[in-house]
Structure 1
Amino acid sequence: MKELKTIIVACGLIAAGCMLQSCNDDDDDVRVFHPTALVTVRPVAGDGFEMQLDNVTTLRSTNLKASPFGNKEVRALVNYDEVSEDARYNIKNVFVNWMDSIRTKQPVPTAGDDNTEKYGNDAIEIVKDWVTVAEDGYLTLRIRTIWGAYGRVHHINLLQGVNPDNPYEFELRHDARGDLLGYMGDALVAFNLNQLPDNDGSEKKIKINWKSFSGPKSAEFDMQFHRIDIPDGVADALRNGGKVE
C-alpha cells in the first residue's frame, strides 16, 4: 500500500513547495503563489505531454519540454499564464510558473468483512471545495482529519466493489495507523477511475461513502470519464512547440 503524499491546505491552497519558479521577479505579485487550476498531467505518445484542464480543454506548455513527472499520469496543481489559444482543438498555450503533483492512486478491491483490518476505519472528512471534484475520470478530494502527533504516514484508500449492483459506488477508508492525536489538517488525494467497467466515456454518477467524525456520510458526483479517442490533429498539436522527451 503506497503512502499518501499530503499537501497541507491553508490560506486558500497556497502552494508551499513549487517545483518550477516563475521568471517574474516582482515579489509583490502574490498571485503566482496560488494555484491557477487543477489538471491531469498526461504523457502523449511519442513525446510531450498534455494538461487536461477540464472535460474539453487541454493546456499546452510553452516553456516545458517534458513533464516534470516523467511518464506518470497524475493530478496536479498548476499556476500558469495563458499565452494564446487554438480554438480548433480546445487547446490553450500557457507558460507554466509551477506545478505540484497530488498523490494519485488507483481504487482498491473491497475486502468485505476484513476491510477494517486491511484498510482501517478512522474518521475523515471530505471538504467541499473547488479541488473536491470529479472530472476527466478522476475523483480528487480535499480531505480533513487529525494527524501529526507521531509523524506516521496515513493511508487513504478508495474501495470499489462495495455494492455488487453498482460498480460506481465506493467507500473511502482512512487508516491513521494509531496517529490519532495531533492537529486537524487538510490534504489532497486523487483516484483514477478511468479503468472502471462499462467506461464508454459518458457521464456516470459516482457515490462515495465514508466514516466522518459525526457519523456515516455519503456524497454523489457527476463524473465525465476521459475520452480515449483523441481527435485528429490534437496529438500533433500537443507535440509542437519543443515538446521533446
Structure 2
Amino acid sequence: MKKVHVLWVLACLLAAPVLFQSCSDDDDEVYVWYPYLSPNALVTVKGGTDSCFLQLDDETTLWPVNLSSSPFGEKEVRALVHFTDVDGEKHFCTRAVYVNWMDSILTKKTVPDSALVNDSLYGNDPVDIVDDWVTVAEDGYLTLRFSTLWGNRGIAHKVNLLTGGNPENPYEVEFRHDACGDAGSWRSDALVAFDLGKLPDTGGRTVKLTLVWQSFRGRRTAEFDYCTRKKTGNVARQIEQMQRGGMLR
C-alpha cells in the first residue's frame, strides 16, 4: 500500500488533487496537500527519535521547543513550516521557535543521467520553473516550485533530477517530468526537493549550479549559488543533550 504524504499545491486549490509518484524503489509514495495556513519558512527536518532541529538555511538552525523528536522519524526531509520565535530562548547562536504546523514535501535522491533512454525512463513532459522564494539551492538540496498541466484522472506524475549528463560540468543537473499520460488542460504549481549529496564536494567554495529543463517554450536553464552542505553532527548532539537535560522542551 502506498503511503500518503503532503505536497504543496499552490493553485487551483478547489480542483482535483495533484498526485506524484516517485520512480525510486525506496520512495513509492503519493503526495497531496491543500494548505490551510501560509508557511513562513522552508526547512530541512533533521534529528530522529531523540532530537529534532530545523535547518533554515546554510547558516541558521531552528530549535523547535515543542518537538522532542522528528515527526518524520529518522528520515531527513524538506518541509514547509509555520513557526513563532520564542523570546529569550537562544543557545549556540541559534533561534528557538514554537512550531505551529509542519508538513513534509516530496524529498528525493538524484538519479544518474541515462543518455539516450532518458525520455523512456524519466519522461520529457514540459514544466515551467517558478521564480519564487521556495525555488532555492540551500543546505545540500535543490528545492523547486514548478508549474505544469494536469489531467483529472488521479494519475500520479513522476519527477526526477538527473546528474552527470554534462561531463564538462559536474554541477549541471536536469529536471525531468513524466505526466504518465495525465497532461490535461488545467495548470497548477507544486513543490519538490532533491538531495544533491551525490554531486562532487565543492570544498567549501560556492559554485554555480546549472538547472536544465524542458519548458513549454523549449529548453531552458537557470543558475543557483551552491555549496556542499556543512556537517551538522555537533549541533544534533548538542540539541539531544539539552533536550535530555530538560533545557529544551
TM-score normalised over the length of structure 2: 0.81
Pairwise CA distance, 1:101: 0.5
Matched, 1:16 2:17: no
2: CA distance, partners of 1:237 / 1:118: 42
Matched, 1:241 2:217: no
Matched, 1:179 2:197: no
- 5+ residue gaps in structure 1? 19-32
**Larger mean Cα displacement after TM superposition, 209-218 or 146-155:** 146-155
1:201-212 equivalences under 5 Å are: 201-212=204-215
Are the structure 2 counterparts of residues 180 and 229 from structure 1 closer, same or farther at C-alpha, using a change threshold of 3 Å?
closer
2: CA distance, partners of 1:102 / 1:85: 31
Pairwise CA distance, 1:183: 1.0
1:1-245 equivalences under 5 Å are: 6-10=7-11, 16-17=34-35, 33-43=37-47, 47-84=50-87, 89-228=92-231, 230=233, 235-237=237-239, 239-241=241-243
Q: Deviations over 1:77-110 (max 9, x none)?
A: 0001100466663311100000010100111001
1: CA distance, partners of 2:5 / 2:68: 28
RMSD: 2.7
Return the letter of the residue paired with 1:134: A
Partner of 1:170, secondary structure, is strand
Pairwise CA distance, 1:196: 1.7
CA contact (8 A) 2:106 2:193 kept: yes
Q: Deviations over 1:4-55 (max 9, x none)?
A: 96421149xxx8357xxxxxxxxxxxxxx211100001116x8202100111
Partner of 2:15: none
CA contact (8 A) 2:51 2:236 kept: no
2: CA distance, partners of 1:177 / 1:132: 24
1: CA distance, partners of 2:206 / 2:89: 26
Partner of 2:79, secondary structure, is strand
1: CA distance, partners of 2:98 / 2:144: 26
Pairwise CA distance, 1:202: 3.1
Are the structure 2 counterparts of residues 194 and 84 from structure 1 closer, same or farther at C-alpha, using a change threshold of 3 Å?
farther
CA contact (8 A) 2:42 2:79 kept: yes
Equivalences, count: 225
Pairwise CA distance, 1:225: 2.4
CA contact (8 A) 1:3 1:154 kept: no
CA contact (8 A) 1:89 1:234 kept: no
Partner of 2:121, secondary structure, is helix
- 5+ residue gaps in structure 2? 13-32
Partner of 1:235, secondary structure, is helix
